[in-house]
Chains A and B, each alone.
Chain A
Amino acid sequence: MQNKLLSESKHGNTKNFDVKDLKVALLFLLPSIIVFSLFIFYPMLKTIYTSLFLTSTGSKLVAFAAIENYVTAIKSSVFQTGFESTIIFVLVTVPLTVIIGFLLAFLTSEELRGMAFFRLIFSSTMGISVAASSIFWQFMFNPVNGYLNKLMLFLGQKPIGWLTDPKYAIYAVSFATIWMNIGFIYIIFLGAIQSIDSSLFEAAAVQGVKKTYLMRKVIIPILSPTFYFVITVSIINAFQAFGQIDLLTKGGPNNATNTLVYQIYQDSFINLNSGRASAEAVILFIIIVVITLVQTKFSESKVHYQ
């Protein structure tokens, strides 16, 4: 009996707070709290504060500017193109990565001979860094020797400047990004599909239920928390994509791939205008928060937790 009471007070959410526990807890939490304060909360506040000032090239605050940094950023055509390409990038990469990752996991979920091999292949991009992946893709996009243009010639089409033509560059970078991110999404989905109770599938097989029906009515609803997790993570990552842009296009051609993150980086570390860069960072932060909230609201009705 006493044991049970104790266990409830330790694991449950009863309100019997222990003063001794508070001291120990603070000690155990202290390292995390210090790092979070120093490298997440303080810099966040500092970025908001800096965004309200004009700054010198040495990042010194020169004069209070209220929302001037925001106004000049939003009015500039570079920012507007950057905003557009960021949105295109997110809208292209997130759904395709999630759908392809899910389908590959679904196709390889059956325990058949040789499946382990396919699972290794499809998860492999998780083990290749953005930098190495970008270099592999830079060659795929190579105007002369790359496979994509070889394919275009084979199909009787004109070769395309994948990374040098402003019309195509953002799609080319998006395509490479989808490939880079499939590995992680695939592993998450595969683990989730395999943890579904297999008696469910046996029952479905006995009743002669079609696979597509099974997928739509059983698997996808059961996996809705996984979809929610994967979509949220993908959206946040897509807004932060940096390495592939830095290595493949450096924001070009003609700012076609100059996404918001890349502009923040350039404004703060190349143009040395941290006031402007901070304002852009705050704008991007607000966009991410709003989208995450909207997505959470939207998926509340769709996600079923078991």
Chain B
Amino acid sequence: MIKSNKWQIGILYFILIVLALLYILPILSGIMISFIPGVDYLSGSLFPKSLNFENYVKAFQNANVPRMMINSTVTSLLIVSGQLIVSSLAAYAFVFLNFKWKEPLFFIFLMTMMVPFEATFIANFQTIKEMHLIDSYFGMALPSLASAFSTFFLRQTFKQIPNELIEASKVNGFNHWKIYKDVVMPISKQSLITLGIYQFLGAWNMYLWPLLVSSNNNVRTVQIGLRQIQSEEALTEWGVVMASAVIVALPTLIILYLSQKRLQEGLAEGAVK
């Protein structure tokens, strides 16, 4: 990109190494503590003597962590798949259909981005309660199934599809449902994956909503599980708390590392332009 000379590159690397170390210090210290057995921590040791997995075993055994991982996975997949379908349908209408009220409807979609979560969650909680969906995966996912952001993102993608293709499909007798399903969606696979990954990270990390609508371990997500583990063990078993936090962070960190380049290119395209 911006070319530097040798000296500048040397200084740049030095600065970057210092910044990177500072930046990951909270994660590194968390990982270190997670390998220190409880007794050693209480005696003041801050560096693990060996790779001791005791805390990880405890986290898995005592704290219901595996069940909560499953709950988080199911809820997140439900949100992502639902949102991709619901938003791509809407985006299709805004791009390929020419209808009355298109602009006002688009404006209404835009407005939903302005309404903050706190203006809705009290009433939404009551709605979910009246629908008897408290303590269900569906109750956790339902309010997130439509998204203005995802609709805009896919609208940008669909706009780049050459119109000849749509016209040719019509000539071949495809109706809109078939064009959506068999032409537009397959072509947009890459954008759908990028968006899906981004929304998965968001769904996996949701905090306030699952906290409100889940009251037992059968559906509770890992984020709320962490809250529980923290309040029960933070004073005595720091190692177990840290091990749990590392376990919870790991799946999304791996996803992020695998898709970092895709996200940085895709989000810049879709979100800003």
Complex Cα spacing A111 to B95, Å: 37
B62 proximal to A (CB < 8 A): no
Q: Spell out A's residues near B (CB within 8 Å).
A: 3, 6-7, 9-11, 14, 16-18, 21-22, 24-26, 28-29, 31-32, 34-36, 38-44, 46-47, 50, 59, 104, 107-112, 114, 118-124, 126-133, 135-140, 145, 147, 179, 182, 187-188, 190-195, 198, 201-202, 205, 211, 214, 225-226, 229, 236, 239-240, 242-243, 246-247, 260-261, 264-265, 268-269, 274, 277-278, 281-282, 284-285, 288-289, 292
Are B242 and A135 in contact, with the CB atoms below 8 A?
A: yes
Q: Spell out B's residues near A (CB within 8 Å).
A: 1-4, 9, 12-13, 15-16, 19-20, 23-27, 29-30, 33, 44, 46, 85-87, 89-90, 92-93, 95-102, 105, 108-109, 112, 114-127, 142-143, 145-146, 151, 159, 163-164, 166-167, 176, 180, 201, 204-205, 207-208, 211-212, 222-224, 226-227, 230, 234, 238, 241-242, 244-246, 248-249, 252-257, 260, 263-269, 271-273
Nearest first, the 4 closest Cβ-Cβ pairs linking A and B are: A191-B268, A127-B256, A43-B123, A35-B146
Are A132 and B248 in contact, with the CB atoms below 8 A?
A: yes
Are A17 and B122 in contact, with the CB atoms below 8 A?
A: no
Are A43 and B127 in contact, with the CB atoms below 8 A?
A: yes
CB within 8 A of A285: which of B1, B115, B253, B254? B115
Are B116 and A239 in contact, with the CB atoms below 8 A?
A: yes
Are A32 and B86 in contact, with the CB atoms below 8 A?
A: yes
Which of B3, B127, B222 gathers the greatest number of chain A CB atoms within 10 Å? B3
Specify the main secondary structure of chain A where it touches its partner: helix
Are A112 and B9 in contact, with the CB atoms below 8 A?
A: yes
Which A residue sits closest to B166, measured CB to CB? A10
Which B residue sits closest to A110, measured CB to CB? B1
Are A122 and B205 in contact, with the CB atoms below 8 A?
A: no
Are A10 and B163 in contact, with the CB atoms below 8 A?
A: yes
Complex Cα spacing A304 to B34, Å: 48
Are A132 and B118 in contact, with the CB atoms below 8 A?
A: no
Complex Cα spacing A14 to B98, Å: 8
Are A29 and B29 in contact, with the CB atoms below 8 A?
A: no
Complex Cα spacing A120 to B245, Å: 20
Specify the main secondary structure of chain B where it touches its partner: helix
Are B23 and A121 in contact, with the CB atoms below 8 A?
A: yes
Are A31 and B146 in contact, with the CB atoms below 8 A?
A: yes
Are A47 and B122 in contact, with the CB atoms below 8 A?
A: yes
**Given A3-B167, A126-B201, A139-B29, A145 and B44 touching (CB < 8 A)?**
yes
Which B residue sits closest to A205, measured CB to CB? B3
Which B residue sits closest to A8, measured CB to CB? B163
Which of A135, A202, A246 gathers the greatest number of chain B CB atoms within 10 Å? A135
Are B249 and A40 in contact, with the CB atoms below 8 A?
A: no
Which of A16, A36, A198 gathers the greatest number of chain B CB atoms within 10 Å? A36
**Given A31-B86, A114-B13, A284-B116, A145 and B46 touching (CB < 8 A)?**
yes
Complex Cα spacing A40 to B124, Å: 8
Complex Cα spacing A18 to B100, Å: 8
Are A126 and B120 in contact, with the CB atoms below 8 A?
A: no
**Given A7-B163, A35-B143, A38-B127, A246 and B98 touching (CB < 8 A)?**
no
Q: Which residues of A contact B115 (CB under 8 A)?
A: 40-41, 44, 285
Q: Which residues of A contact B163 (CB under 8 A)?
A: 7, 10-11
Q: Which residues of A contact B118 (CB under 8 A)?
A: 240, 260-261, 264, 281, 284-285
Q: Which residues of B contact A138 (CB under 8 A)?
A: 230, 234
Q: List 6 A-B contacts (CB under 8 A).
A: A10-B163, A107-B12, A194-B268, A229-B271, A240-B116, A242-B208
Are A32 and B151 in contact, with the CB atoms below 8 A?
A: yes
Q: Which residues of B contact A292 (CB under 8 A)?
A: 114
Which B residue sits closest to A190, measured CB to CB? B264
Complex Cα spacing A260 to B272, Å: 29
Are A135 and B241 in contact, with the CB atoms below 8 A?
A: yes
Are B207 and A242 in contact, with the CB atoms below 8 A?
A: yes
